[in-house]
Chains A and B, each alone.
Chain A
Amino acid sequence: MATRRELLLAATGGCLIGRVWASDGAGTVAQVEALAALPGKKPLIRRSFRPPNFETPLADLAAPLTDNGAFFVRYHLTVIPRIDPDSWRLQVSGASARRALTLSLAELRSGFEQVEVVAVNQCAGNRRGLFTPRVPGVQWGGGAMGNARWRGVRLREVLQRAGVAADALEVVFGGADAPVLPATPAFVKSLPVERALDESTLVAFEMNGRPLPHWNGAPARLVVPGWVGTYWMKHLASIRIEPRAFDGFWMKTAYRVPTGAFPGARFTSQETAETTPVTELLVNSLIVSPGSGARLSRGAHAELAGKAWDGGAGIEGVEVSVDGGQRWRDATLQRDLGRFAWREFRFVLDTSRAGRLDVAVRARSRNGAKQPDKLTPNPSGYHDNIVQAVSLEIA
């Protein structure tokens, strides 16, 4: 049997468009991929032990909603407390808050309207391990993402209960996880006040009808549909409404892209002439099956299946090419779970001729954006949304 590396080399030789992925969706990540289970989770692809960084195997991305047990886990810091949901409290305060609030989980659940949103949570660095040239950071394949039904209350209502002064500029979020050494910057993130007040931004306590798993932010986390996962603060502990731009390391130094290099919402209070925070998800897609290198029986029914998503405009269409990008044909879109959810697509493959079949997929957003053919270089390897291809064998 061919090794993954051989497959990959063979595949890149003949493919005319898109980047061919390895069979497990982890792409060119050279490491041996160890599957391991955190307590309470299914076996996932381990990218680091401590802090735990675990990605979802491609097979677990097949379902419309990603199983809580299989959902990816991302931490920067290693001191991760187990939180007793009954004694947990959320502090809301800040120089632009009219009054300070302390809310228990019961008060959060009963004091505000409960709402649900199906939304993709994708790490900004998803697919970093496939980036060329290679860049440092957790070497994610394609599984630092998932799609879930999040239930909670609107952040807007919580902020309005505290009272948002006219001079509010950013809302700053702190989680309960902490660094080992006090000199390491705590993981604190901010949002523009308008994004915090958007009706889709939630303080969520349930995922797919169950309490949030510990490793996904129990007892409550932020859900910022359409924005990259770094803003979805886990183990949410504090919310501050502030008149000034927050200048912590994880805002002003990390999670940045060159200014003007990418489309999507701007975060002007954090922008400099050189760099700006990574914000919205770009239009993207993932082929879930068949995996690259799969053999299909000649003449048998075969279908390509996958997901497409964007930053919240919604998916308008998904196109498939089997001739190296000369002709594109529409895939069939499946059920619409909302504009922040991924959209499943299917496409019947022609298996009448024996030989190799290179299949490329390109999603199109309702805002007109399409997946590009080329990566836009950036030092942290964000926004990898280039056209993906799989190489199949019909025999």
Chain B
Amino acid sequence: MKVALARLPALATAALVLGGAGGWLGAAEPLVPAQLKEETVRLKDAPGRELTEGRCNICHSLDYIPSNAPAMNRAVWQKEVQKMRDRFGGPLTDEEARQILDYLDGNYSGKP
């Protein structure tokens, strides 16, 4: 089974090597079993897509974005982006967060 890492940033691959726990932790499952074809998730083509794809696929697949669209508006997206940075430790500058928010609100507020 191949690890579908092609679209994951370098940060994500580093954590595949598991340490500690007395040595009983086996190799990690591939983050996404290749046959599931995560790469079929495509965000809408609009300004900000590449930045959003690059930052928002570090910790999870991009399908979290379209699937949540029906629950979203600008204010809720703003809270979510803040949560990804402040609670979960996502690397995002203020400027990047603003651009991503514009992209998300413009393309994924309401419709998947």
A residues engaging B (CB < 8 A)? 30-31, 36-39, 46-52, 77-84, 87-89, 133-139, 176, 178-185, 214, 237, 249, 253
Q: Is B105 an interface position by the 8 A CB rule?
A: no
- Rounded to whole angstroms, the CA-CA distance of A36 and B34 in the bound complex is 12
A84 touches B60 (CB 8 A): no
| B24 and A180 within 8 A (CB) | no
**Per-position contact with A for B23-64: 1 when CB-CB < 8 Å, else 0?**
111111101110110100100000000000000001111011
Chain A residue with the shortest CB-CB distance to B26: A82
How far, in whole Å, are A249 and B22 apart by their CA atoms in the complex? 25
Q: From A46, A50, A83, give the contact of B26 (CB < 8 A).
A: A83
| B31 contacts A79, C-beta separation under 8 Å | yes
Known: A50-B31, A180-B12. A38 touches B23 (CB 8 A): no
Inter-chain contact B87/A253, CB cutoff 8 Å:
yes
The verdict on B6 contacting chain A, using a C-beta distance below 8 Å, is no
Partner of B28, one of A52, A79, A182, A184: A79
Q: A79-B18, A136-B76 are in contact. Are A49 and B32 (CB under 8 A)?
A: yes
A80 interface neighbour in B12, B28, B76, Cβ under 8 Å: B28
Q: Report the Cα distance A39→B80, complex, angstroms.
A: 31
- Residues of B in contact (CB 8 Å), total 41
A81 to chain B, nearest CB (A): 4
Q: Does B106 contact A (CB under 8 A)?
A: no
Shortest 9 CB-CB contacts between residues of A and residues of B:
A183-B89, A134-B71, A49-B61, A50-B61, A49-B38, A82-B26, A87-B24, A81-B25, A50-B32
Given A49-B63, A51-B60, A179:B15 Cβ within 8 A: yes
Residue in B16, B23, B35, B90 whose beta carbon sits within 8 Å of that of A87 in the complex:
B23
Q: List 6 A-B contacts (CB under 8 A).
A: A49-B41, A50-B61, A52-B33, A81-B18, A136-B68, A139-B68
- Indicate if the CB atoms of A30 and B24 lie closer than 8 Å: no
A184 touches B38 (CB 8 A): no
- CB nearest to B14 among chain A residues: A180
B28 surroundings in chain A (CB, below 8 A): 79-82
Q: Are B24's CB and A84's CB within 8 A?
A: yes
